[in-house]
Amino acid sequence: MSFDEYYASIFDGLDVEACHTLTGTELQHSQYKGSRFEINLHTIELFDGIRLDFGRYNGDFRDFLRKVPHEEVLHFGYCLAGGYEGLVESKIPFCLGISDIWCCSMCNTIHTTAPVQCQTIGFSIAITEAKNEIGKFLRHCDIVRLHDYLLDNPLCCPANKAMIKIFAKLQPHYNSDILRLSVLELLLVLDSIVRETPRHYQKPERRDYCRELHHFIQKHCHRDLGLEYLAKMYNISVAKLTRDFLRVYGISIYQFMKQCRMQRAYTLLISEDNNVSQVANEVGYVNVSAFCKNFKHSFGENPKTTLM
Specify the CATH number for the domain of residue 292: 1.10.10.60
Say whether both 289 and 173 belong to one domain: no
Mean pLDDT for each consecutive 10-residue tract of the chain (308 residues)? 58 71 76 87 89 91 68 88 83 84 85 87 90 85 82 83 85 84 89 66 59 86 84 79 84 90 86 82 88 87 80
Angle at 253 between CA 233 and CA 201, to 5 degrees: 85
Three-state DSSP state, 203: coil
- Residue 131 has what pLDDT? 86
Residue 294's nearest CA partner among 305, 285, 306 is: 285
Last residue of a domain, one of 169, 196, 223: 196
Say whether both 224 and 163 belong to one domain: no
- Residue 141 has what pLDDT? 83
Q: How many domains does the chain have?
A: 2
Alpha helices in the chain (DSSP H): 3-11, 62-66, 127-137, 143-152, 161-168, 176-196, 204-220, 227-233, 238-249, 253-271, 276-282, 288-299, 303-307
C-alpha distances in Å from residue 151, one per residue of 4, 74, 110, 146, 255:
23, 9, 12, 9, 28
Say whether both 109 and 226 belong to one domain: no
Last residue of a domain, one of 175, 196, 217: 196
Instruction: Specify the CATH number for the domain of residue 133.
Output: 2.60.120
- Residue 173 has what pLDDT? 78
Say whether both 184 and 215 belong to one domain: no
pLDDT in tens, 217-233: 888 888 888 888 888 77
C-alpha distances in Å from residue 106, one per residue of 98, 234, 272:
22, 35, 36
102 bridge partner residues:
77, 156
Say whether both 147 and 264 belong to one domain: no
- Residue 67 has what pLDDT? 59
Say whether both 236 and 298 belong to one domain: yes
- Residue 122 has what pLDDT? 92
- Residue 52 has what pLDDT? 92
Say whether both 135 and 192 belong to one domain: yes
Say whether both 174 and 261 belong to one domain: no
Last residue of a domain, one of 196, 230, 260: 196
Say whether both 227 and 245 belong to one domain: yes
Q: How far apart are the first and last CA of the chain?
A: 43
Backbone angles phi, psi at 178, to 5 degrees: -65, -40
Say whether both 212 and 164 belong to one domain: no
Q: Which structural domain range is residue 246 located in?
A: 204-307
DSSP state of 251: S
Say whether both 172 and 229 belong to one domain: no
Say whether both 131 and 254 belong to one domain: no
Pairing of strands 73-88, 50-59: unpaired
- Residue 118 has what pLDDT? 92
* pTM of the predicted model as reported, rounded to 2 decimal places: 0.61
Determine the residue type at 5: E
